[in-house]
Amino acid sequence: MDRQRQNLLIAIVATLCGVAAAQAADKPAFRALSWIAPGQEFEALSSEPIGSLRLSAVLADKSQDIAIGRALFETPTLLGGQAAKAGLSCGSCHTNGRDNPHFQFPGVSGAPGTADVTHSFFSSKRGDGTFNPVRIPDLAKPGKVSRLAELPDLETFVRALIVEEFDGEEPSDAVLAALSSYIRALCDGCDKTKRPVTVQNPLGRIEQALMLVEQGKARLADDVLHLLLASARHQLGLIHERYVAPDLSRQRKALKKLSLDLMLVQRSLANEQRDNRLPIGEVIEDFSTLRDELIRLESQSLYNPEKLARAIK
């Protein structure tokens, strides 16, 4: 193990010990606190950029690809390896496709909003043994890689990020097409204001992911379906982190059950006899019931800014 990787592992172990201590002290243990810059916790956890999409892209034939791409963008499973273990997704560095000025992963970031994209902890292929963090780009802004749909440049770039920068599994053409469609649809000139983080945000992402699975179970590739289900499970976990009050224990159990049910749906994808019929309908019904409860009880959760501020002091 090289010294850079060893030092980072020590830093991460220390961070995880801090999370465990927080749990023991009945404080919330947000996984994101592992990569949020000190002193910026409340701002990072209470608001996010809107991340608007270009209307022309949404109205085009790529609208479903954009929706799938946005879900996959928020899925740690896509990146695999150490990133997935840490709970990092594309959206951790690029909040709603933008940048993230609060991101500061131990041993990988320099100043907040930077990351060393050639660090050996995340990549066995690109690790260069040199600490050289760079500013995390806003993906809605034009970059060095062409966004033209008639060129394969963006798909090639995204594939390299997944496989080489993060040691993820080789993505299918369908996965690359969806992610690239989402990135191309990001709007630089649209609304740049922030919005409050509410339970409606992850609930909306879960609902969309489940509907994409339900509508596409007969024609979407298995890896796309698996990642969509992983996206929904990840969002359930984000909600679970915030419903920590003793009076919300029933809702926390229901969130866990939904996640386990979705895991069983994922496993059914490996069954060659599934005949394109995934057991998703009942899960969607259970989610709809729980969604209404979660919205009704939101003020008791850490989506309430006042409760959040007190909890992370």
Last residue of a domain, one of 145, 173, 194: 194
pLDDT of 60 reads: 65
* Residues 222, 102 share a domain: no
| Dihedrals phi, psi of 185, to nearest 5 degrees | -80, -15
* Residues 266, 239 share a domain: yes
Which residues contact residue 271 at a Cβ distance below 8 angstroms, ignoring those fewer than 6 apart?
none
Buried b (16+ CB within 10 A) or exposed e, 30-46: bbbbbbbbeeebeebbb
Which residue type, as a one-letter code, is found at position 3?
R
Last residue of a domain, one of 162, 179, 194: 194
* Residues 238, 115 share a domain: no
* Residues 104, 24 share a domain: yes
pLDDT of 108 reads: 94
* Residues 139, 46 share a domain: yes
pLDDT of 274 reads: 54
* Residues 297, 176 share a domain: no
Q: Sign of the CA dihedral 21, 23, 26, 28? A: positive
* Residues 12, 139 share a domain: yes
User: Domain count of the chain?
Assistant: 2
Last residue of a domain, one of 168, 194, 220: 194
* Residues 205, 80 share a domain: no
* Residues 83, 23 share a domain: yes
* Residues 151, 233 share a domain: no
Check residue 98 and report its DSSP letter.
Answer: S
pLDDT digits (tens, 9 = 90+) for 228-257: 999 999 999 999 999 999 999 999 999 999
Residue 228: which CATH number? 1.20.120
Q: Which residue positions in the chain have pLDDT lower than 70?
A: 1-27, 55-61, 272-277
Range of the domain at 166: 3-194
Say how far apart CA 99 and CA 298 lie, in whole Å.
28
Which residue type, as a one-letter code, is found at position 238?
L
